């Protein structure tokens, strides 16, 4: 085969792979009230109720009752009864740092839509790039992840990446999936670890250039906030005479303190710079990543800055850090009283592993985080940080009926998620991984015969 023909064939194969979409059908909105009985209800925000009852109506939790307590009647129409005796119900997990929906196969560039060209892109919206037919969505959903923050990524050496969107992991289109179309502005700070211990060998000659580039990017980010503040003042004073600029228009709610800035910062120097940036410009700040966040615990607590832990299953930043530095981070932040949640590390290559979110929390338990806190760290706490605690994160009247049914503790790998409900409608928990498992189990069985 000629090189040209081989190239054409390879390109066609990759395009075919990229074009493949999940064949699962989104169910219609809940039309009939649902009464669940017999299950253990893990409300997260309150007490655990054994043999509890939960009335779901109009996509929301209408009421919850313990044995002997009365439930209100359904507002209208018949009620479907569902006996889940011996099963456990938990609120759906929330992945607060993800590229799910923005990437399909990380190694195939045509399927990755996480990053916009340029450095200062506050007007970029992750939501409009979400692929509602992604095969990764059913995989995450089948293990209890029912909502995710789709986060735009940065170009190399940091940038203002754009705004994230909170998705429910089900829907025909990105409009259907959007719970909050624009959650916050994401600022990715460049690395500041340009010392000789990091830049060794062949990288050492580039040390000065990397320092200059990092300093330049930090200055550009700082100047962008200055420009946005000046634009806001001009628009307020003379709206008719101020030319419209989509970049600064997208930052108006940020400089007014109405929308959160998510600063992606792991290193101590990055976190220090993020805190300074927030102080100078009056920003509502959340740290994402936060590997060194425990070193700033008193300041973070005093300023009300939350931390989205960017992956528990990560290596320490430095060779002389404790081997369990990332494993114990959640426990340290909890002990210090810092608001936090547990998420994945984000980025294209981590999108396929969002299903492992409950096991990230489980590892934190093994290294000192109380079990109840670990469950809250992937349900109630991310909902609070993302500003949707009135919709998600626990089982309570008035919240969306997005929950999972399991045969045990979902933080245990042996536990199976048996059913999934999103806004009161039961959603298929099949996925590509399960289909492949069944396929090759059948193949092995046939060969054994």
Each residue of 121-176: pLDDT tens digit? 999 999 999 999 999 999 999 999 999 999 999 876 789 999 999 999 999 999 99
Nearest to 376 by CA among 316, 413, 324, 333: 333
361, 387, 413 - which closes a domain = 387
432, burial (CB in 10 Å: exposed 0-12, middle 13-18, buried 19+)? middle
Is residue 63 located within the same domain as residue 155? no
Render the burial of 138-162: b for 16+ CB within 10 Å, e for the rest: bbbbbbbbbbbbbbbbbeebbbbbb
Q: What percent of the chain has pLDDT over 90?
A: 76
* CA 402/CA 141 separation, integer angstroms: 11
Q: Is residue 9 in a domain?
A: no
pLDDT at 438: 87
| Sole residue written with tokens 């927030």 | 278
Q: Which of 368, 387, 406 is the last residue of a domain?
A: 387
Together in a domain, 235 and 356: yes
| 140 occurs within a structural domain | yes
Judge whether 108 lies within some domain.
Answer: no
Q: Which residue segment(s) compose the domain that 369 sits in?
A: 136-387
Flag whether pLDDT at 195 surpasses 70: no
- pLDDT band of residue 22 (cuts 50, 70, 90) is low
Establish if 189 belongs to a structural domain: yes
Q: What pLDDT score does 8 carry?
A: 42
Is residue 55 one of the residues assigned to a domain? Answer: yes
Residue 416 has pLDDT above 90, yes or no: yes
In tens, the pLDDT along 313-352 reads 999 998 899 999 999 999 999 999 999 999 999 999 999 9
212-244 pLDDT, tens digit each: 888 899 999 999 999 999 999 999 999 888 999
Q: What confidence score (pLDDT) does residue 73 get? A: 87
Residue 209 lies in a domain: yes
* Separation between Cα atoms, residue 158 and residue 193, nearest integer Å: 13
**Is residue 141 domain-shared with residue 223, that is, in the same domain?**
yes
d(CA 413, CA 72): 37
Q: Look at residue 194 in the predicted model and tell me its pLDDT.
A: 64
Does one domain contain both 176 and 291?
A: yes
Query: Is the pLDDT at 1 greater than 70, yes or no?
Result: no
Same-domain pairing of 162 and 266: yes
Q: Is pLDDT at 198 greater than 70 in this prediction?
A: no
Predicted local distance difference test score (pLDDT) of residue 193: 73
Q: What residues have CB less than 8 Å from 300, skipping those under 6 apart?
A: 287, 293, 306, 307, 336, 338
Q: Residue 433: which pLDDT band, with cuts at 50, 70 and 90? A: confident
Query: Do 294 and 149 share a structural domain?
Result: yes
Write down the mean pLDDT value for the chain.
91
Classify residue 110: in a domain, yes or no.
Answer: no
CA dihedral 365, 355, 181, 160 (to 10 degrees): 70
Q: Which residues of 172-210 are buried (b: 16+ CB within 10 A; e: fewer)?
A: eebeebbbbbbbbbbbbbbbbbbeeeebeeeeeeeeeeb
pLDDT of residue 210: 79
Do 383 and 397 share a domain, yes or no? Answer: no
Q: Are residues 252 and 307 in the same domain?
A: yes
* Count of domains for the chain: 2
- Dist. CA 76–CA 326, nearest whole Å: 51
265: domain CATH number is 3.20.20.140
pLDDT (0 to 100) of residue 12: 43
Q: What is the pLDDT of residue 432?
A: 87
pLDDT score, position 17:
46
Flag whether pLDDT at 201 surpasses 80. no
Q: Based on the domain organization, do 427 and 369 belong to the same domain?
A: no
Same domain, residue pair 314 and 215:
yes
Rounded average pLDDT over 281-286: 96
Residue 178 sits in the same domain as residue 30: no
Q: What is the mean pLDDT of residues 301-321?
A: 94
The DSSP 8-state label assigned to residue 422 in this structure reads: E
My answer on whether 189 and 334 are in the same domain is yes
Q: What is the mean pLDDT of residues 74-97?
A: 94
- 51-80 confidence digits (pLDDT tens): 999 999 999 999 999 998 999 988 878 899
């Amino acid at each position: 085969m000629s090189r040209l023909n081989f190239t054409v064939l390879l390109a066609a194969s990759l395009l075919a792979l990229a074009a493949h979409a999940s064949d699962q059908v989104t169910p219609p909105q809940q039309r009939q009230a649902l009464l669940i009985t017999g299950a253990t209800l893990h409300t997260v925000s309150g007490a655990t109720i054994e043999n509890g009852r939960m009335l779901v109506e109009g996509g929301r939790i209408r009421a919850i009752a313990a044995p002997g307590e009365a439930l209100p009647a359904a507002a209208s129409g018949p009620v479907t009864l569902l006996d889940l005796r011996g099963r456990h119900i938990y609120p759906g997990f929330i992945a607060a740092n993800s590229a799910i929906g923005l990437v399909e196969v990380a190694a195939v560039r045509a399927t990755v839509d996480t990053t916009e060209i340029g450095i200062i892109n506050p007007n970029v919206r992750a939501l409009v790039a979400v692929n509602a037919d992604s095969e990764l969505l059913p995989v995450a959903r089948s293990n209890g992840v029912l909502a995710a923050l789709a986060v735009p990524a940065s170009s190399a050496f940091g940038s203002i990446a754009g705004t994230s969107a909170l998705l429910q992991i089900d829907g025909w289109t990105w409009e259907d999936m959007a719970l909050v179309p624009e959650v916050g502005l994401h600022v990715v700070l460049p690395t500041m670890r340009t010392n000789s211990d990091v830049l060794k060998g062949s990288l050492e000659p580039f040390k000065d250039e990397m320092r200059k580039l990092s300093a330049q990017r930090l200055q550009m980010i700082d100047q962008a906030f200055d420009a946005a503040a000046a634009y806001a003042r001009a628009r307020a004073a003379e709206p008719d005479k101020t030319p419209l600029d989509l970049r600064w228009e997208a930052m108006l709610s940020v400089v007014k303190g109405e929308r959160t800035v998510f600063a992606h910062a792991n290193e101590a120097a990055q976190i220090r710079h993020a805190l300074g940036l927030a102080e100078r410009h009056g920003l509502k700040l959340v740290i994402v990543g936060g590997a060194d966040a425990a070193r700033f615990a008193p300041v973070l607590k005093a300023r009300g800055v939350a931390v989205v832990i960017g992956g528990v299953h990560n290596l320490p930043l430095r060779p002389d850090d404790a081997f369990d530095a990332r494993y114990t981070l959640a426990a340290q932040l909890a002990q210090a009283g810092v608001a936090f949640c547990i998420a994945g590390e984000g980025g294209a290559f981590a999108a396929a592993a969002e299903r492992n979110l409950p096991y990230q929390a489980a590892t934190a338990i093994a290294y000192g985080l109380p079990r109840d806190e670990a469950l809250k760290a992937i349900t109630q706490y991310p909902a609070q940080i993302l500003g949707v605690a009135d919709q998600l994160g626990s089982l309570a009247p008035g919240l969306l009926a997005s929950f999972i049914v399991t045969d045990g503790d979902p933080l245990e790998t042996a536990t199976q998620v048996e059913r999934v409900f999103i806004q009161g409608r039961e959603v298929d928990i099949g996925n590509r991984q399960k289909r492949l498992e069944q396929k090759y189990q059948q193949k092995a069985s046939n060969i054994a015969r």
